[in-house]
């Protein structure tokens, strides 16, 4: 096939203890999936229907160093970028209308990600009833640590999730606090979209989200997974 312009490189995420890369198709994100975070954002913590938004695959900021480190350039047109530490689920299989009880068969593995958010632009969009893209889907908006295969990690139904900024714990929770569990998210999403191998799903953030500034060092982790370290430039 001849292209009129050279096609873009496929975005990838590193795989722990491997030279192989995980190629990325779509990047789905779940909103308000921990009760304490729903409350801090001024919403009902009771289980409502889940909702979703997307980041662009080339918004990913893969770790550039073996310790999960990377540099996040502070983005333009904002004065209020927030961190949201999240468990990221990577799919090896897709489909439509996937039942909850077979949904975990679609999972390739897991990693730690940060759903960087231009909160001021997201807030303006919410008020005006506009899409969230400028708040959520900007360049480098999805720093990612290494992925681990599910054979190593198990189903990640519980475990501490945390984020420290400059050595102080800002976000802390447990995966067992997810309002919509991973198989439920996969099943629900597959009713809205045809899921594909190589899709990523950011599963929501625990409470404690807050602003970052240039020079901050963010260190995040989830029990059993490689951590992430991001320096804000
Ligand atoms: Mn989020």
Residue 221: give the domain boundaries: 12-232
Position 60 scores a pLDDT of 97
Q: How far is the CA of 53 from the centre of ligand 1 (A)?
A: 9
Q: How far is the CA of 20 from the centre of ligand 1 (A)?
A: 27
Position 15 scores a pLDDT of 95
Q: How far is the CA of 142 from the centre of ligand 1 (A)?
A: 10
Domain for residue 1, yes or no? no
Domain for residue 47, yes or no? yes
Domain for residue 3, yes or no? no
Domain for residue 19, yes or no? yes
Q: How far is the CA of 29 from the centre of ligand 1 (A)?
A: 6
| pLDDT one-digit tens code per residue, 122-150 | 999 999 999 999 999 999 999 999 999 99
Domain for residue 24, yes or no? yes
Task: For the chain, list residues with pLDDT below 70.
Answer: none
Q: How far is the CA of 136 from the centre of ligand 1 (A)?
A: 9
How far does the chain reach from its first CA to its final CA, in angstroms?
A: 40
Token representation of residue 177: 């606090």
Position 110 scores a pLDDT of 98
Position 10 scores a pLDDT of 96
Position 69 scores a pLDDT of 80
Position 6 scores a pLDDT of 96
Query: Which CATH number goes with the domain that contains 26?
Result: 3.90.850.10
* Total structural domains within the chain: 1
Please indicate, yes or no, whether the overall pTM of this predicted structure exceeds 0.85: yes
Domain for residue 7, yes or no? no
Position 220 scores a pLDDT of 97
Position 124 scores a pLDDT of 97
209 Cβ contact list (under 8 Å, min separation 6): 37, 40, 82, 83, 84, 117, 170, 171
Position 7 scores a pLDDT of 95
Domain for residue 6, yes or no? no
* Residues linked to residue 148 through DSSP beta bridges, in sequence order: 110
Domain for residue 157, yes or no? yes
């Amino acid at each position: 096939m001849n292209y009129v312009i050279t096609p873009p490189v496929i975005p990838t995420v590193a795989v722990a203890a491997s030279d192989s890369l995980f190629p990325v198709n779509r990047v789905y994100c779940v909103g308000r999936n921990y009760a304490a975070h729903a409350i801090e954002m001024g919403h009902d913590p009771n289980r409502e229907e889940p909702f979703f938004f997307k980041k662009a695959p080339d918004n990913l900021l893969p770790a550039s160093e073996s310790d999960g480190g990377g540099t996040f350039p502070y983005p333009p047109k904002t004065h209020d970028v927030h961190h949201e530490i999240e468990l990221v689920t990577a799919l090896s299989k897709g489909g439509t209308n996937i039942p909850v009880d077979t949904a975990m068969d679609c999972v390739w593995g897991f990693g730690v990600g940060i759903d960087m958010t231009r909160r001021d632009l997201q807030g303006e969009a919410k008020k005006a009833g506009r899409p969230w893209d400028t708040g959520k889907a900007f360049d480098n908006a999805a720093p990612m640590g290494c992925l681990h295969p599910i054979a190593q990690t198990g189903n990640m139904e519980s475990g501490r999730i945390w984020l420290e900024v400059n050595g102080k714990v800002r976000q802390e929770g447990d995966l067992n606090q997810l309002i919509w569990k991973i198989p439920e998210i996969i099943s629900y999403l597959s009713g809205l979209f045809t899921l594909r191998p190589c899709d990523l799903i950011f599963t929501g953030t625990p409470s404690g989200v807050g602003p970052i500034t240039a020079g901050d060092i963010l260190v995040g982790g989830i029990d059993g997974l490689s951590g992430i370290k991001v320096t804000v430039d």
